[in-house]
Structure formats: C-alpha cells, structure tokens
Amino acid sequence: MARKYDNFLELYGYDLLLGSIVAFYVLMVPYTKVEESFNVQAMHDILYHRHQIEKYDHLEFPGVVPRTFIGALLVSILASPVVFLMNLLHVPKLYSLYAVRLVLGGIVLSTLRFFRIQIKKKFGFQVEAFFVILTASQFHLLFYCTRPLPNILAFALVNLAYGFWFKGSLYAALNCMVFATLVFRCDILLLIAPLGLELLLTKSVSFWKALTSCLAAAFLSIGLTVLVDSVIWKRLLWPELEVFWFNSVLNRSSEWGTHPLHWYFTSALPRSLLAAYPLFLLGVLLDRRVFFYILPVLSFVLLYSKLPHKELRFIISSIPVFNFAAAVAASRLYNNRKKSFWKFLYIAMLGLILGSLHGSFFHGIVRKLS
C-alpha cells in the first residue's frame, strides 16, 4: 500500500501541488472581471440554455468584438456532469462558476504537465523539480490559468506546442500554435513567426512540409470556428479575424490604455516571474541549449512590446519557457552549491525563491481580495 502511495506521489505529486494552489485561488477569488464576461456568460448559456440559442446573452450584448464559443463549449461539456448534479441537488447557480473555472484550470494544468514531462525527459528530473518550485512560487500564472479569457484558452494550446517542441514533434507544435492563433488569439502569430523562422534557419523542419502541415491545420481551424461560431452568432463569422482587424489594423486596443515600450521587461515580467527573472538570464549563460528555446519566446515579447496597449495576460504564454530556463540555472546552482563561489549564488537563489513565495501568497492574494 505504501509503495502504491509513493508511486502515485511520484507520478502526480507535482500536479497535486499546483492543482491545490489553483483551487485555493479559485476559492479565494471566485468572481471574474469584465474581460472574462463573454466566456463566463457563454458557459452559463451553454450549460443552462443549451440549444436555445435565441436566449443567449451575446445576441443582445455582443461586446466590442465577437469571440469564439469553442473554448466555452469545451469547458462546458467537461463541467456539465458536475453542473447537472448541482442542479439535481438544488445547489445555488453560483457554484457552477467554481466548476467551470476549476475545469479550465485542470485543462491548463494538464497541458502544463505535458510540457513539464518533456522538460524532465530532455533535461532531467532536477530541472523538472525546480520548474515546479518556481511555478508554484509565482502568483500570476496559476492565478490566471482559471480565468476564462481567450488568452488562457490559447495558453493551453501553447503549452501543448511547447511540449511537442521539446519532444521533437515540431510539426505538431506548429499546428497547435496555428489553431491557437486562428481560433483563440491572433497575437500568437507573434510567437509562431519567430519559432517557425528559427526551426527553418536551423533546418529542424522542411519548409514545404511545414507549409503544407500549417495550411492543413489553418483550414481545419478556420473551418471549425466559422462553422461553430456562425451558427451561434447567427451570421457568417470568423471571430478572430474581426479581433485582428480591430486590435491590429485599426489599433483600437490603445483606447483601453497604453504603456511604454519597455513595460513588459520592467514591470510585467519582473512581477510575474519574480525569482525566475534573474535566473532565466543566468540559465541562458550556463547552458547554451537554453538559448535555442528562449530566443523565439523573447522575440515574442519584444514584438508584442511594439503594440501600445499592454497587459500581462497578453504575454502569459511566455512564462513557462522563462521558468524552464530559470530551472536550468537553479539546477546548476544546486549541483555546485558546495563550491566556494557557487555557494553564495545558491544562497542568493534561495532568498529569491523565499521572496517570491512571500510576494505571491501575501501581496498577490491581499491585492486581489482588496
């Protein structure tokens, strides 16, 4: 019995840790913000109005730009058994919000698990362990992974893409990002472009095979979103095309506020990465393999910096790779902790991680609750 318990913890211990933190955040901050209103209402309508589309809220309150129902549909299907049981037991409808948010968090964490397993296979169990420690010590990634935003739905697919990238299934990685770009967030184009260019320049993929693979994924993605969303919106529609036109071509997103060019590097990333911010830079220096993985993600943040309207959620897809690079550095510092010079760096790293925990579980929660 004890052996089975040990095996279970070995397989799922990290998932239990991260999942517990995510569940804690949901319980402490159950309500959502205006940016999340579309998907929250869409999940409500799918779960409670089902096929009665004429009762759906978006037909009366469409919002600034249309959004896809595909993510809300997937989460609602997975949450429906729990919500059905709640209805039978006459549990207040509010608790269905907990259900859909926890399901969304489960989806994101399962894709993050896939990425983490590939890190373990390629860089070892110690790097995996530090990846989990750094992720758990940060506030924003685990807090946001249950927020029903298009960015988070895309984030789940990007995590899958990272996993396939590390695994060596490069065409699958590109296909995941194509789907995320065309269905959930058109700005993932800023990530797939530098990644695709790097893979082509390093001759990791064939140009023609990559082109045909991505075109096939694009046709399937566009076909799916146009089919589903045209029915629910009751007009011929590709939602993310309208979002791209509004945000990028018309640059209307700047009406919601602007930040300086350096904001992601001087505010968003330091706050979200915490200890991992200096460590990821050290990881690039200590292991030359890391630069290959960091370059496309760093390019993504640089390209995004050109857009005046900036929010942390826009670049949240970059955090897992930055955490991976930081975990490589942390593992190297741990292995050399008994050497004179390295000992001071190791102590500094422990201090940074403790500072991250303090910042996440006190300042983060207090700020969100206030």
Give residue for tokens 């924003």: 140
Helix (H/G/I), strand (E/B), else coil: 250: coil
**pLDDT of 73:** 96
Q: pLDDT at residue 134 above 90? A: yes
3 state DSSP class of 305: coil
Q: Of 8, 350, 315, nearest to 155 (Cα)?
A: 315
For residue 302, CA distances in Å to 17, 186, 315 come to 32, 16, 10
* Residue 179 burial (CB count, 10 A): 23
Q: Which residue has the tokens 């629910």?
A: 232
Say which residue the tokens 């517990």 belong to: 20
C-alpha 18/C-alpha 22 separation (Å) is 6
pTM above 0.85, yes or no: yes
The separation between CA 323 and the C-alpha centre of its own chain, rounded to angstroms, equals: 13
Of 125, 114, 229, the residue nearest 163 (C-alpha) = 114
Residue 286 has pLDDT above 70, yes or no: yes
User: Of 60, 76, 237, nearest to 148 (Cα)?
Assistant: 76
Radius of gyration of the chain from its Cα atoms, rounded to whole angstroms: 21
Residue 247, pLDDT > 70, answer: yes
- Tell me the DSSP string of 25-71: HHHHS----GGGHHHHHHHHHHHHTTT-GGG-GGGT---SS---SHH
On whether the CB atoms of residues 324 and 293 are closer than 8 A, the answer is yes
- For the stretch 182-199, pLDDT in tens is 999 999 999 999 999 999
* C-beta neighbour count of 102 within 10 angstroms: 19
Averaged pLDDT, 143-160: 95
Compute, in degrees rounded to 10, the torsion defined by CA atoms 47, 84, 95, 229: -10
CA distance 291 to 321: 11
CA dihedral 113, 119, 125, 127 (to 10 degrees): -110
Could you give the CA distance from residue 129 to residue 260 in angstroms, rounded to a whole number? 36
pLDDT at 46: 95
pLDDT in tens, 50-69: 889 999 998 888 888 899 99
What confidence tens digit (pLDDT) does each residue in 53-111 have? 999 998 888 888 899 999 999 999 999 999 999 999 999 998 999 999 999 999 999 99
Q: 353 near 133, Cβ under 8 Å?
A: yes
Taking the C-alpha atoms of residue 355 and residue 360, their distance in angstroms, rounded to an integer, is 9
* Cα angle for residues 356, 360, 361 (degrees, 5° grid): 120
pLDDT at res. 59: 87
Name the average pLDDT for the chain. 91
Mean pLDDT of 19-25: 94
What's phi and psi for 32, nearest 5 deg?
A: -120, 165
